[in-house]
Structure 1
Amino acid sequence: MRLIQKPILCNYYVTYRCNATCHFCDIWEKPSPYIKVQDVEANLLALKKMGVKIIDFTGGEPLLHREIDIFLKLAKDLGFLTTITTNGLLYPKKAKALKGLVDMLHFSLDAYNKEIHDKARGVACYDFVMQSIDIAHQLGERPDILFTAMNENMNELEDVYTKICLPNNLVLIINPVFDYNEVETGGGLTAENLEIISKMGRKKNVYLNEGFIQLRKDGGNKVIDPVCKAASSTVVISPHNELVLPCYHLGKKKFPIEQKLAALYETREVQQLIALEGRLPECEGCAINCYMQPSFAVELNKYFWKALPSTFKYNTMKGMWKKALFK
């Protein structure tokens, strides 16, 4: 049963460029422009009209955009919840400008061991994450640590939790790695490692969407009965100011927005593509977190119930319920 008919999230790609070269991601390989203020302003007004609640300014590395603080301010002024994930390289320089503008600020950290983390990211960013944590605290911010869980770094998870998150009172977000396109991620997490992170997810100051675990145990999305609601729950906007459908990772069709996002979204061609969400041949077995999380929130099924306790836990830890319900 469908609970929410409107999209709730916008994945707004400010650029595909990145100052890291993570081996489990291929976004940084794409040539890319930077989004423009006038387009962002028009699109945010349209997204508000469409019912979207959360704007994830993403990339690439979103802090590469020199006007990222302007985008965040525009979103906050319109009542959106905002989120950014950064590798930390630029946060120390931009922290003051971002203060109070990011509701969910995530610092990526995949190992307690500096060499392991920096090797995975392809750039020496570990020290910048540590510096970013200190600066964020000094500014009264409440960042999270986002740990991309892979078979190769599972032995780092406990140390990140006990030696970094707990002493700094940070929420540890466990992000199970997912396969897509031709990106080499090691074939996904083993059953043993799924159990390890599931147990970790029950600990204090840890967020793990249990729907992710269940979906992987079930073999991912099934085209015959799709759990994926990527296209109807999430609006994807590219750095080229295009509406991308059915999701960023497939990107089967791109529509120029031309400051007419709300009208474009209701066109027959767009709605026909939305209706194919989770049903395309490439959708079989998909478990991409950034689209499954909103999918779990809009449809009443077993994944909704699996995700609900962890979602409630995170919102309680972050004090987000009032903002989420009344914005």
Structure 2
Amino acid sequence: MRLIKHPVLCNYYVTYRCNATCSFCDIWEKPSPYITLENFRENLKDLKKLGVKVIDFTGGEPLLHRELDILLEEAKRGGFLTTVTTNCLLYPKYADRLKGKIDMLHFSLDSPDEEEHNQSRGVKCFDKLLDSIQIAKNNKERPDIIFTVFEQNVDKIERVWNEITQPNDLVLILNPVFNYNSVETGENLSEASLQKLLWWGKQKNVYLNEAFIDLRKNGGNHVENPVCRAASTTIVISPENKLVLPCYHLGTKDFDIKGNLFDLYKSNEVQEIVALEGKLKECEGCVINCYMQPSFSVEINKYFWKALPSTLKYNYIKGTWKNLF
């Protein structure tokens, strides 16, 4: 049974540019402009009309956008929840400008070992992450640590928890890795690793969406009975001011917005693509977390019930549940 029939999230790509070269991502390889304030303001009004509650300012590295603080301020003024994920290279420089404007601030971490983390990111940024934690805390911010879990680093969750998140009273978000397009991230997580993730998800200040684990055990999205609701739950806007469908990672079609996002999204041409969400041949086996998360929240099924406890846990810790209603 569908609970919510309108989009709830906007993945707003402020730029595809990045100052890191992560091996498990290809976004940084793309040439890219930056979004403009004019286009953003036009789209913000239509996102409100469409029912969107959360705007994820993403990239690339979103802090490369020199007016990110203004974008965030306008989104907050419009009543949206805001989220930003950063590699922390620029956070110490811009922390004061961003203060109080991000509801869910995420710092990316791949390893508790400096050399290993830097190698994964293709740039020296481990020290910037540690500095950023202290700067954020001094600014009364509550950043989360997003730990992307691979088969080769699952045993390092304990050190991240003991050495970084618990001493700083931060939430540790466990992000199971996924493959997409031609980007290969290594072998799939084993049954043993999935069980370890489930155990860690029950620990203090650790967030793991248990539905992610079930989805992987079940072979991901299946086109004959899709669980993915990417196109109907999530508006994806590119740096070129285009609506991307059915999701960023698949991105089979895009449309110039031209100051008319609401009517464009409601148009027959777009809705025909929305209706194919999770049903395209490329959707078979998909487990992409950033689209499954909202998919699990809008429709009552087995994944909804699996996702609910961890979702409530995170929103209770962060206090963001108050802004969702």
Superposed pair shares fold, TM > 0.5: yes
TM-score, length-scaled by structure 2: 0.99
The 8 Å contact of residues 95 and 135 in structure 1, kept in 2 or not, is answered as yes
8 Å CA contact 1:35, 1:241 repeated in 2: yes
Counterpart for residue 178 of structure 1: 178
* 1:113–1:156 Cα contact (<8 Å) kept: no
Which residue is 2:122 aligned to? 122
Within-5 A mapping of 1:140-151: 140-151=140-151
3-state SS of paired residue (1:168): coil
Query: In the TM superposition, what is the alpha-carbon distance from 1:212 to its structure 2 partner?
Result: 0.4
Corresponding residue for residue 138 of structure 1: 138
Query: What letter is aligned with 2:238?
Result: S
Give the secondary-structure state (helix, strand or coil) at the position aligned to 2:94.
helix
Could you say what secondary structure the match of 2:243 adopts? strand
How far did residue 263 of structure 1 move? 0.5
Residue aligning to 1:87: 87
Deviation at 1:155, TM superposition (A): 2.3
Which residue number in structure 1 is paired with residue 56 of structure 2? 56
Query: Contact conserved, 1:110 with 1:149, CA < 8 A, in 2?
Result: yes
- Per mean C-alpha deviation after superposition, the further-off stretch among 154-163 and 295-304 is 154-163
User: Match of 2:219, SS?
Assistant: coil
Could you say which residue in structure 1 is the equivalent of 2:300? 300
1:20 partnered with 2:2: no
For 1:253-294, what per-residue CA distance to the aligned partner results, in whole angstroms no more than 9, with x for missing partners?
Answer: 100000100010010000000000000000000000000000
- Report the alpha carbon displacement of residue 113 of structure 1 after superposing the two structures with TM: 0.5
1:234-245 equivalent positions in 2, closer than 5 A:
234-245=234-245
How far apart, CA to CA, are the structure 2 residues paired with 1:309 and 1:16?
33
- Contiguous gaps of at least 5 residues in structure 2: none
Deviations 1:180-201 (A, max 9, x none): 0111211321111111111000
Please say if residues 107 and 144 of structure 2, whose CA atoms lie closer than 8 Å, have aligned partners that are also in contact: yes
- Work out the CA distance in 1 between the residues paired with 2:115 and 2:138: 27
User: Which residue in 2 is equivalent to 1:109?
Assistant: 109
Contact 1:82 1:102 survives alignment (8 Å): yes
3-state SS in 1 of match to 2:152: helix
Q: Does 1:65 align with 2:61?
A: no
TM-score normalized by the length of structure 1: 0.99
State, as a whole percentage, how many aligned pairs show the same letter: 64
Secondary structure of the equivalent of 2:161? helix
Q: Is the 8 A contact 2:151 2:187 kept in 1?
A: no
Tell me the number of residue pairs that the alignment of Structure 1 and Structure 2 aligns. 325
2:78 paired residue number: 78
Map 1:148-159 to 2 at 5 A: 148-159=148-159
SS in 1 for 2:254: strand
Structure 1: distance between partners of 2:141 and 2:297: 27
Q: Is the 8 A contact 2:223 2:283 kept in 1?
A: yes
Contact 1:110 1:156 in 2 (8 A): no
Letter in 1 for 2:128: F
Structure 1 regions of 5+ residues with no counterpart? Answer: none
- Which range is displaced more, 154-163 or 56-65? 154-163
Deviations 1:212-250 (A, max 9, x none): 000000000000000000000000000000000000011
Structure 1 window deviating more from structure 2 (181-190 vs 194-203): it is 181-190
1:179, 1:187 within 8 Å by CA — same for their partners in 2?
no
Letter in 2 for 1:65: H
Q: What is the rounded CA distance, in whole Å, between the counterparts of 2:9 and 2:262 in structure 1?
A: 14
Q: Which amino acid aligns with 1:146?
A: I
Q: In structure 2, what residue type is equivalent to 1:261? A: L
RMSD: 0.6
Q: Give 1:87 shift.
A: 0.3
